[in-house]
Amino acid sequence: MRLMKTLISIIILCALSASAQYRFNSYTAGVATNAYIGTNSYSTTYSTAFDVGAGSTACIQLAFKMATNDYPHFATNDVITTWQSSMDGTRFTNQFQFTIKSNASATNTEVWGLTNFNVTYPWLKLMSVSNLNQARLTNYSVRVGNKIGI
- CATH for 52: 2.60.120.260
> At 84, which amino acid appears?
Q
**DSSP H helical ranges for the chain:** 2-20
Q: Quick check: 74 and 110 in contact, CB under 8 A?
A: no
Asked, for residue 92, whether it belongs to a domain, the answer is yes
Asked, for residue 132, whether it belongs to a domain, the answer is yes
Say how many domains are in the chain. 1
pLDDT at 81 over 70: yes
- The whole-angstrom separation of Cα 72 and Cα 134 is 7
Asked, for residue 9, whether it belongs to a domain, the answer is no
| Residues in Cβ contact with 87 at an 8 Å cutoff, skipping those fewer than 6 apart | 121, 122, 123
Q: 18-62: per-residue pLDDT in tens?
A: 444 566 778 777 665 567 788 887 778 888 888 988 888 899 999
- The whole-angstrom separation of Cα 57 and Cα 100 is 20
To the nearest whole number, what is the mean pLDDT of the chain? 79
Domain assignment of residue 125, given as a range: 23-148
pTM (global) more than 0.85? no
pLDDT at 102 over 80: no
